[in-house]
């Protein structure tokens, strides 16, 4: 039987008590939805979706590394946007971050949806599913 392991790092914001930053079971690593909080300050990096997207991806990268993975191991990313008008800025920040961390050249599959957030400072939330080498 494969054991499920909690993945944690201080290089990403601490999770709420109801969930883990990431969970690894066998070859799968699921990174929980991350928001644009700087783990060093505990503050949102601003209302700008581009800056928040970059911070979110840094947080995901830290959790992936804590779970023994890299962005090249990510097979799926889900992006949740506060406003459809933010798509271009989010996409530009994503394009500046993800491809250079994916040396295989095979980018993750991605879904982007527009949602409402209970916390008004959140412009974007992203989660990731990775399959790191065992």
Q: Which two tokens stand for residue 35?
A: 């928001």
Q: What is the b/e burial string over 73-91, where b = at least 16 CB atoms within 10 angstroms of the residue's CB?
A: bbeebbbbbbeeebeebbb
pTM of this structure: 0.95
Q: What is the mean pLDDT of residues 11-40?
A: 94
Does residue 134 register a pLDDT over 70?
A: no
Distance of CA 103 to the CA centre of its chain: 18
pLDDT of 16 reads 82
pLDDT tens per residue, range 17-27? 888 999 999 99
- Give me the number of domains the chain comprises: 1
pLDDT of 46 reads 85
pLDDT tens per residue, range 42-101? 999 988 999 999 999 999 999 999 999 999 999 999 999 999 999 999 999 999 999 999
pLDDT tens per residue, range 100-112? 999 999 999 999 9
CATH number of the CATH domain containing 95? 3.30.1330.40
Q: Which domain holds residue 60?
A: 4-130
Of 73, 64, 77, the C-alpha closest to 21 is: 64
């Amino acid at each position: 039987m494969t054991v499920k392991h909690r993945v944690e790092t201080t290089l990403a914001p601490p999770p709420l008590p109801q969930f883990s930053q990431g969970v690894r079971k066998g070859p799968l690593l699921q990174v929980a939805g991350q928001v644009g909080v700087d783990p060093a300050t505990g503050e949102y990096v601003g209302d700008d979706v581009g800056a928040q997207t970059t911070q979110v991806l840094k947080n995901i990268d830290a959790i992936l590394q804590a779970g023994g993975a890299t962005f090249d191991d990510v097979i799926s990313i889900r992006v949740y946007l506060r406003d459809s008008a933010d798509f271009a800025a989010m996409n530009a920040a994503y394009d500046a971050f993800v491809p250079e961390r994916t040396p295989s050249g095979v980018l993750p599959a991605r879904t982007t949806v527009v949602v409402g957030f209970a916390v008004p400072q959140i412009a974007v939330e992203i989660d990731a599913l990775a399959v790191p080498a065992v």
